[in-house]
Homo-oligomer: A and B are copies of this chain.
Amino acid sequence: MSTHDLHRLTASEALQLIRTDQISVEEYARSLLKRVESRDSQVQAWAYLNPNLILSQARALDKVPKEERGPLHGIAIGVKDIMYTKDMPTEHNSPLYKGSLIQVDASPVMTLRNSGALIFGKTTTTEFASTTVGPQTSNPYNKGRTPGGSSSGSGAAVADMQVPIALGTQTGGSIIRPGSFNGILGYKPTWGAISREGVRMYSINLDTVGFYARSVQDLQLLADVFRLQDDEIPKPFILPGATFALCKTEVWPEAGPGTIKAMERAAELLRAAGAETVELDLPEDFNGMQDLHRRISQGDGRAAFLGEYTTAKDKLDTFLVGQVENVSGITRREYLEALDVVASLRPKIDRIASRYAAILTPSVPDEAPEGIESTGSAVFNAMWTALHIPVVNIPGFSGSSKLPIGLSLVAPRYKDRYLLNVSEEISKVFGNGGWQSDL
């Protein structure tokens, strides 16, 4: 591979070249920077990016003795701009935090940096990752369309090969939706499996830290670094003979032609690969999850933004002002009922999901909608987020405009490693889904 194509590498591929002295971290970083330079006017994925800082970090990494190098040595990682980074501002896309430099790393950033990662820059987000008002970022496949949100820049930067890995967070669908819109893997681990220390909070009961990558192997690497161990080390997943549950959910009427076709095509591909598929209608208790999710996020939002509200409510998005003021009028009773009902459904979905190889369900209504003002709908993600179970968006399909569409694989809580093993096989199968990145 010529050095000007290094940006195309997955993290695992880049690691291999760095480990065997075929490339330096600096060469790798320069290739990514060149990619950013050529594409930034189109994509605008970065809230903060400092080439000098990147190169000086890269050179420092190159000087680390081999025996002291970490498992992610030299791997460039984009950090969603609601997570503290000790050497870069953290602005939350809020005028209240313009230029705010917090000199500590958020826990996930700390873990990555200590594992040898090259913290590359801060990726754009919606305000506090809590609204659906898009930042300036475009979908790398179409400048006139959203990359999704709230992890807008992370999704776009990984898809556009400006970095191989980026951090995201999800309260509704903020990891999975950009994963689908940008044709990459988005992984929302089990809630609580990764510390959110130093990561801006919207809903303490829902927010989950996760990742974007272009290969499942890279997600496995991250899962190693973050010690995402299942109780038992799962065996490599064997697809033939496995049974997948196709779960359209109660919001299926929201699915557009792209997602409807993707679900059909996915089922065909699975069966062609020797797997079985069954339709899964969740028990009636799971109806109303959209409303329960909304009650939880808005109930949590009542406390989350009070500090900034008392600082300058005119500098907060009106949606967030409305959370503090509880304009939707959700009572404490309605909020607690939502918490309790959803909590009671978590062990139920664990039991249901454990009967299948995995549950396959839509990631999005359809391909990325037009315009960048709105980051799109989380209608297909909210339920799984509230249930705290791990979800991986697997790309492979496309909509009527040939833009990417992915589907979600879900598994029981803390079966993350198992789900990644399944995802490894499924991503190969969905590779024949009709869509390929042409970037």
User: Interface of A with B (CB < 8 Å)?
Assistant: 100-111, 114-115, 192-197, 200-201, 204-205, 226-227, 229-231, 300, 302-308, 310-311, 324, 331-333, 335-336, 339-340, 343-344, 346-347, 350, 413-414
The answer to whether A413 and B103 touch across the interface, beta carbons within 8 angstroms, is no
The answer to whether A307 and B105 touch across the interface, beta carbons within 8 angstroms, is yes
Q: Which of B230, B300, B332, B347 contacts A230 (CB 8 A)?
A: B332
Closest partner residue, chain B, to A205 (CB atom): B192
Closest partner residue, chain B, to A110 (CB atom): B307
Q: Which of B103, B111, B303, B331 contacts A192 (CB 8 A)?
A: B303
> In the complex, what's the smallest C-beta–C-beta distance from A310 to chain B, in angstroms?
4
> In the complex, what's the smallest C-beta–C-beta distance from A329 to chain B, in angstroms?
11
> In the complex, what's the smallest C-beta–C-beta distance from A103 to chain B, in angstroms?
7
The answer to whether A311 and B114 touch across the interface, beta carbons within 8 angstroms, is yes
**For residue A346, which residues in chain B have a CB less than 8 angstroms away from its CB?**
336, 339-340, 343
Closest partner residue, chain B, to A312 (CB atom): B114
> In the complex, what's the smallest C-beta–C-beta distance from A418 to chain B, in angstroms?
11
User: Bound complex: CA of A114 vs CA of B108, how far in Å?
Assistant: 30
Closest partner residue, chain B, to A109 (CB atom): B307
A-B contact pairs, 19 of them (CB 8 A): A101-B103, A102-B102, A103-B103, A105-B307, A108-B307, A114-B310, A193-B303, A194-B303, A196-B201, A197-B200, A197-B307, A227-B324, A229-B332, A231-B331, A231-B332, A336-B350, A340-B344, A340-B347, A344-B344
User: Bound complex: CA of A103 vs CA of B204, how far in Å?
Assistant: 23
**For residue A336, which residues in chain B have a CB less than 8 angstroms away from its CB?**
346-347, 350, 413-414
Closest partner residue, chain B, to A333 (CB atom): B231
Closest partner residue, chain B, to A305 (CB atom): B195
User: Bound complex: CA of A163 vs CA of B114, how far in Å?
Assistant: 40
User: Bound complex: CA of A305 vs CA of B111, how far in Å?
Assistant: 10
User: Bound complex: CA of A111 vs CA of B110, how far in Å?
Assistant: 28
User: Bound complex: CA of A79 vs CA of B387, how far in Å?
Assistant: 35
The answer to whether A227 and B332 touch across the interface, beta carbons within 8 angstroms, is no
**For residue A115, which residues in chain B have a CB less than 8 angstroms away from its CB?**
310
